[in-house]
Amino acid sequence: MGRVLVIGAGGVSTVAVKKMAMNADVFTDIMLASRTLSKCDQIAADINNIKVQTAQVDADNVEELVALFNKFKPDLVVNLALPYQDLHIMDACLEYGVSYEDTANYEPLEKAKYEYSWQWAYKDRFEKAGLTAILGCGFDPGVTGVYTAYAAKHHFDEINYLDIVDCNAGDHHKAFATNFNPEINIREITQRGKYFEEGVWKDTDPLSVHKPLNYPNVGPKESYLMYHEELESLTKHFPTIKRARFWMTFGQEYLTHLRVIQDIGMARIDPIDYNGQKIVPIQFLKAVLPNPGDLGKNYTGETSIGCRIRGMKDGKEQTYYVYNNCSHHAAYLETGAQGVSYTTGVPAMIGAKMFMKNIWKKPGVWNVEEFDPDPFMKELNEQGLPWHEQFNVDLEM
């Protein structure tokens, strides 16, 4: 049905490409490219039903990207590289003329700052080129936007309160490890907290607001208010929202490790001089920490991510909780990757599938909640991320 080029070869890519191969009727030709060819080859070697091509590419080099696009002639480029490479890849897509999908919004390399402005600024150019760009199609952002769109479409006349809750009740049995790229992880968590209320953004000290929330099949877990990028697009696209917040669980030990990593200067994103060479401490730290892609084998427990929504339906207040629980071990058995990679990689594949099937295809730059959620929700149930609904329960909001 279509040719897909995936850029990036981490844990999320491992899942996305394997899932694409399981949907080989849609993804008839798959290429996987990253800075390190051997990583691509390793992922491709695990796939038997279809030949996955591999290539070496520097995702920051627009010319190299365009040359690769010219060679492979993709219908869609799925960007699973690092967030600060988004714009280079979008530039290359425009230059060559191919549609685009990613899972995390652009942030400048020098400053951890999450906003869609940079990517939304491409809307006109994609529209004029007749190309589709699907932004943020992992789990959060991604499924959380689809959940919200689905709730708005089927269960609410207006959504007033939205709490996105992200719990990882897993145990990788390491003293410390991050579940995805530690650089991105630490940049994200160390930023100031921010939430939307009554038309304005309110900010908090990093991780200073927290409370225990109850997660299905998990129980209570201390959850921390933090900023997450889908809050920006969802409050824009659902203007009836009075308050939108994002909560993520962290263990005390994780937070202690994080605090120390900052204290000792290893979270720094500016280069230091080491024996006459410029090295960014957080990038060196990444090389020392366990590879998130290798955590799967001994990972027990599950994730639980969902949307808790309060709003009006037929003149009455209603609450709604839609969520998925994902077992790390089941994810590992299926793809060799842990649940955090799995819950991001599967929606990336589904978004690409929506595009390939012409269901999510319209010129411009779009967040996932701007498309029809129903076919995506159907795929979630079929591709390993089944969702569950609870109506009019206590949402702890």
Q: Which residues bind a copy of itself (CB under 8 A)?
A: 175-176, 256-257, 260-266, 268, 272-275, 279, 281, 284-285, 287-289
Least CB distance to a copy of itself at residue 42 (A): 17
Least CB distance to a copy of itself at residue 257 (A): 5
Residue placing its CB nearer to a copy of itself in the complex, 202 or 259? 259
Least CB distance to a copy of itself at residue 47 (A): 27
Residue placing its CB nearer to a copy of itself in the complex, 35 or 237? 35
Q: What is the Cα–Cα distance from 98 to 306, expressed in whole angstroms?
A: 32
Residue placing its CB nearer to a copy of itself in the complex, 9 or 307? 9
Least CB distance to a copy of itself at residue 222 (A): 19
Residue placing its CB nearer to a copy of itself in the complex, 212 or 265? 265
Residue placing its CB nearer to a copy of itself in the complex, 256 or 300? 256
Least CB distance to a copy of itself at residue 301 (A): 20
Least CB distance to a copy of itself at residue 84 (A): 18
Residue placing its CB nearer to a copy of itself in the complex, 274 or 391? 274
Least CB distance to a copy of itself at residue 288 (A): 4
Residue placing its CB nearer to a copy of itself in the complex, 279 or 333? 279
